[in-house]
Amino acid sequence: MIPIHVDGSEAFAASLGRLVARGADDLGAVEQDVRVIVSAVRAEGDDAVFRYVERFERRRPDPLVIRSFDGAAALARLEPDLRAALELAADRIRRYHEHQHEAGFRYEEDGVVLGMRVRPLARVGVYAPGGKARYPSSVLMSAIPARVAGVRDIVLATPAPDDRLLAAAHLAGVTSILDAGGAQAIAALAYGTTSLPRVDKIVGPGNIYVACAKKLVYGDVDIDGIAGPSEIVALADDAADPSVVAADLLSQAEHDEDAWCVLVTTSRALAEAVVAELGPQLAALSRDSIAGASMRTRGCALVVSSLARLAEVASLVAGEHVSYHVADPEALFDRVEGGGAALLGGMTPVAAGDYLAGPSHVLPTGGAARFGSPLGVYDFVVRASIIRYSTPALLRHGPHIANFARAEGLDAHARAVELRMSRHTRLGGRGEGES
Ligand SMILES: NC(=O)c1ccc[n+]([C@@H]2O[C@H](COP(=O)([O-])OP(=O)(O)OC[C@H]3O[C@@H](n4cnc5c(N)ncnc54)[C@H](O)[C@@H]3O)[C@@H](O)[C@H]2O)c1
Ligand SMILES: N[C@H](CO)Cc1c[nH]c[nH+]1
Ligand SMILES: [Zn+2]
């Protein structure tokens, strides 16, 4: 089902090389089409959004923007077990993100007040996929951090929201819903239309059209990143439970034919036992053809000779989820670089992180965990630097600033400083401004 490669072999080097080079999805195949959609929505607004929703989703939303929705009623209509799961998840996600609050700061240094002000973004767009499957979990995982940050308007963009989505939107504090999916929804959020004011930032996962549209509008609006197919890197030693490791690998493989599922282990016997588990477990899944395709094309087991090498390989691969099936997960985690989500110990399924542990499941993929972080409250704030000079401080720094400016050939910069200094001197120290 998946090949096993031992460190030192050519096959191991090739497999690791392919993983390290995997990068973000190649969006080139759809870029031209998406560019047309984005430009049309930018130029024509609602009319173009309706046109593309009719073309790709075969329906006409009415209304396109839902300003008030009865999320509480939708929640009440859900089957009680699902309702309880959503409420538990929302509560846990909120409490986790409350730890991420970032305070600004101010201090004074020799007559110069410096600081940083942190304010929430005013208006954000949260995309929740709605093509092949529905993800109320993604609504919670994207919108709750925004709500905790204090964002005033949270627009959920999703095609034809059902009760599960409306209930999640209600629990997450979504303020309005754009009933559209795909590139047209992203363009409407980025540029605004008659019925929808533009947003400051767009977050959340989606398919290749959504990802490409986010990339194209970036700069006119902020984005969280480009989410590619799901990934899991399971790290295991010889004490790991092969059936549990196999179950974790399959739990991400079932997302997408292109998901990356990788086992890195210090034990050849464990690798063989995991591979033996995969077939029967896969056969029992409803999405067996998706998970099977992912395993066949992008799955592999890499066998290394030490925990140090395990950490090195995990750092190189930089997976979205890294699950630690080893005797001392904390010690190994300490040696692995990068962001993403770490699931520590055999009793921590990746699925717990996907649904309700607390941290957002919107994570860097395609190796972006080398530098990227989970979606968080910090994604929904804007920072302003604060600088305030007193007169003595400017008299002290002024000559240095002017010298620096002239060295860059920027006279006007120098004069803006010198004017203040000379005016102050002319007025005998009684100049305007701060003493
Ligand atoms: N990383 C995460 O946290 C996470 C979470 C949930 C889902 N996902 C991923 O998000 C993706 C969701 O994809 P999806 O397709 O189910 O839903 P989606 O909502 O992202 O895309 C559906 C939209 O695609 C557009 N579309 C479809 N065919 C098109 C075409 N030919 N031309 C232009 N636009 C077209 C339509 O407008 C449609 O509304 C999956 O890959 C899934 O694995 C990721
Ligand atoms: N594992 C996905 C992120 O890679 C998130 C998700 C949503 N639902 C279940 N899982
Ligand atoms: Zn998942």
- For ligand 1, whether the C-beta of 15 sits within 6 Å is no
> What does DSSP assign to residue 92?
H
Residue 87 CA to ligand 2 center (angstroms) comes to 18
Give me the domains of the chain, ranges plus CATH numbers.
4-24+228-358 (3.40.50.1980), 28-109+122-225 (3.40.50.1980), 390-426 (no CATH)
What residue has token string 């542990």? 357
ipTM value, please give it.
0.98
Taking the chain, what is the end-to-end CA distance rounded to the nearest angstrom?
Answer: 75
Q: By the 8 A CB rule, do 123 and 151 touch?
A: yes
Catalytic residue among 5, 97, 321, 361: 321
Q: Please give the order of strands across the beta sheet that includes 260-265.
A: 4-6, 299-303, 260-265, 231-236, 321-325, 341-344
Cβ-based neighbour number of residue 253 at 10 Å:
32
CA dist., res. 175 & res. 157, Å (int): 11
CA dist., res. 296 & res. 23, Å (int): 19
251 is an annotated ligand-binding site residue: no
Residue 194 CA to ligand 2 center (angstroms) comes to 33
> What does DSSP assign to residue 256?
-
CA dist., res. 71 & res. 319, Å (int): 35
CA dist., res. 245 & res. 271, Å (int): 10
- The amino acid sitting at 289 is S
Tell me what pLDDT residue 431 has.
55
Average pLDDT, the chain: 96
Phi, psi of 293 (to 5 degrees): -65, -40
Residue 398 CA to ligand 1 center (angstroms) comes to 55
Atom of ligand 1 nearest to the CA of 158: 19
Of all protein residues, the one whose alpha carbon is nearest to atom 13 of ligand 1 is: 207
Cβ-based burial of 151 (10 A; exposed 0-12, middle 13-18, buried ≥19): buried
CA dist., res. 173 & res. 35, Å (int): 32
Tell me what pLDDT residue 372 has.
96
pLDDT class for 185, splitting at 50, 70, 90?
Answer: very high
CB within 8 A of 169, min separation 6: which ones? 69, 71, 139, 143, 156, 161, 177
Task: Considering every ligand atom shown, identify the ligand nearest to the alpha carbon of residue 133 and give its number.
Answer: 1
Catalytic residue flag (residue 400): no
Region 397-419 average pLDDT: 98
- For ligand 1, whether the C-beta of 104 sits within 6 Å is no
Q: What is the pLDDT of residues 246-305, one digit of tens each?
A: 999 999 999 999 999 999 999 999 999 999 999 999 999 999 999 999 999 999 999 999
- For ligand 1, whether the C-beta of 132 sits within 6 Å is yes
Residue 7 CA to ligand 2 center (angstroms) comes to 31
Catalytic residue among 320, 325, 361, 424: 320
Q: By the 8 A CB rule, do 302 and 275 touch?
A: no
CA dist., res. 89 & res. 87, Å (int): 5
What's the residue count for the chain? 435
Q: By the 8 A CB rule, do 108 and 57 touch?
A: no
- The C-alpha angle 325, 330, 336, rounded to 5 degrees, equals 85
289 is an annotated ligand-binding site residue: no
CB within 8 A of 15, min separation 6: which ones? 3, 5, 300, 302
CA dist., res. 358 & res. 348, Å (int): 13
Q: Say which residue, 25 or 334, is predicted with more confidence.
A: 334
Catalytic residue flag (residue 320): yes
Q: What is the DSSP string of 383-405?
A: EEEEEEE-HHHHHHHHHHHHHHH
Q: What is the pLDDT of residues 33-84, one digit of tens each?
A: 999 999 999 999 999 999 999 999 999 999 999 999 999 999 999 999 999 9
CA dist., res. 145 & res. 97, Å (int): 6
Is residue 430 over pLDDT 90? no
- The C-alpha angle 193, 145, 104, rounded to 5 degrees, equals 100
pTM tops 0.80 = yes
Q: What is the pLDDT of residues 299-324, one digit of tens each?
A: 999 999 999 999 999 999 999 999 99
